[in-house]
Amino acid sequence: MAAPAFVAQLNDQIANEYAAHQQYVACAVYYDAQTLPQLAGFFYRQALEERDHAMMMVQYLIDAEEQALVPGIAAPQTGFSDAVEPIGLALAQEKRVTEQISALAARARQEGDYASEQFMQWFIKEQIEEVATMTDLLRVAERLRDDVMDLEDWVVREHGEGERDGTDDVDEVDPGRGGVGSSPTASGCSRAMKFSISIGSCSERWTTRSRSDMVAISST
């Protein structure tokens, strides 16, 4: 059993993670509409990571025999003045999430809930990486504000061709199974469609992942 105060705060954080997911989708769609596929792919991948974070928290509460709440969230920002603005927004978001994660770890310790405190350690490490990634991207984007194609090239060099769509797991979806997986194959899809297929693949993995796997993730 987790401490009640921690459970309430973690449920709030689930909402924050889903809000971050939606904001990253909005950023990706903006770049997609501007025909900037590398930046679009980068943010589609970030969106999937935020969704995974939310689901890790949901699974932790289920495993702790606590109630996990599925939240409603506010609409994300969808309009941007240029290619740099979404990155600045993303960095501010990651810094805010870092503060929220630290507060959760502090709450767990304050309540003497050491299992929950250990669970939060993975997220603390993850946020250090997320803030560093967005900080670097923003610095480069500001230098290349007037040459966005050079920024696209930098994203390829730093984050790799294979990650540009943010849907490396799409190939795991069997088109013959029906549902989301029955959509066109990954090679024939737009970035947005690949993202949709990947969401379906992730959903299936979350519903079939064993509790022992989740414990391994949370203690990494």
pLDDT attached to residue 165: 45
Bigger pLDDT: 112 or 213?
112
**What pTM did the predictor assign?**
0.77
Interatomic CA distance for residues 67 and 154, integer angstroms: 43
- Confirm if 196 and 78 have CB atoms less than 8 A apart: no
In this structure, the dihedral spanned by the alpha carbons of residues 192, 196, 98 and 58, taken in order and rounded to 10 degrees, is 170
Query: 44-86, pLDDT tens digit by residue?
Result: 999 999 999 999 999 999 999 999 999 899 999 999 999 999 9
CATH code, 4-165+211-218? 1.20.1260.10
pLDDT attached to residue 211: 46
For the record, the structure tokens of 10 come out as: 């973690």
Interatomic CA distance for residues 182 and 191, integer angstroms: 16
Interatomic CA distance for residues 112 and 205, integer angstroms: 32
Band of residue 195 on the pLDDT scale cut at 50, 70, 90? low
For the record, the structure tokens of 54 come out as: 């939310």
Mean pLDDT of the chain: 83
Residue 212 confidence (pLDDT) above 60? no
Domain residue spans in the chain?
Answer: 4-165+211-218
Query: 150-166, pLDDT tens digit by residue?
Result: 999 999 999 875 443 44
Dump the DSSP string for 188-213. Answer: GS-HHHHHHHHHHHHHHHHHH--HHH
* Three-state secondary-structure class, residue 144: coil
pLDDT attached to residue 198: 54
- Confirm if 98 and 127 have CB atoms less than 8 A apart: yes
Q: Residue 218: which H helix or E strand, with range?
A: helix 211-218
Residue 25 confidence (pLDDT) above 70? yes
pLDDT attached to residue 160: 74
Picking from 102, 22, 9, 110, the residue whose alpha carbon sits closest to that of residue 60 is 9
